């Protein structure tokens, strides 16, 4: 058994298998003051922004579109995008479920400035 100072491998597939709900990120690791989160997505999320931090999305499976007020970007597996702080955006899963990895600072709500903001849950 590893102690707190010994690194351990995180099996992303095994972690994804532990939950089924969409748009509810799960914390699978932390480093410095950041949380590595996994999320499953289906359909549209809501428009929101993060005033204090950038947000990184890395698509593991499926296709994810990030809509911005003036354009949109579609990501395939193995592609990522960093949404700059203060930029309003809406993630949308295309054609079924998306599995993604998100990196945010600790305790960042998944919907940033939106009234329905929730905190990620640790797996």
Query: Above pLDDT 90, what percent of the chain?
Result: 79
Q: Which residue has the higher pLDDT, 111 or 116?
A: 111
What gap in Å lies between CA 56 and CA 82, rounded to an integer?
Answer: 4
Where are the chain's structural domains? 12-122
Q: For residue range 56-104, what is the model confidence (pLDDT) as tens digits?
A: 999 999 999 999 999 999 999 999 999 999 999 999 999 899 999 999 9
The answer as to CATH 3.50.50.60 being correct for domain 12-122 is no
Judge whether residue 105 has pLDDT over 70.
yes
pLDDT at site 4: 66
Q: How far is CA 82 from CA 1, 3, 89, 103, in A?
A: 35, 33, 11, 9
Q: Which residue has the higher pLDDT, 1 or 103?
A: 103
Judge whether residue 118 has pLDDT over 80.
no
């Amino acid at each position: 058994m590893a102690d707190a100072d010994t690194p351990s491998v995180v099996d992303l597939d095994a972690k994804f298998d532990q939950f089924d709900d969409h748009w509810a990120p799960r914390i699978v690791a932390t480093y410095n003051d950041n949380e590595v989160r996994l999320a499953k997505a289906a359909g549209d999320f809501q428009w929101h922004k993060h005033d204090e931090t950038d947000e990184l999305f890395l698509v593991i499976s499926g296709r994810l579109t990030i809509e911005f007020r003036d354009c949109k970007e579609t990501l395939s597996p193995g592609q990522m995008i960093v949404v700059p702080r203060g930029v309003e955006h809406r993630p949308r899963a295309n054609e079924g479920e998306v599995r993604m990895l998100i990196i945010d600072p600790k305790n960042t709500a998944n919907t940033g400035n939106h009234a329905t903001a929730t905190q990620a849950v640790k797996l």
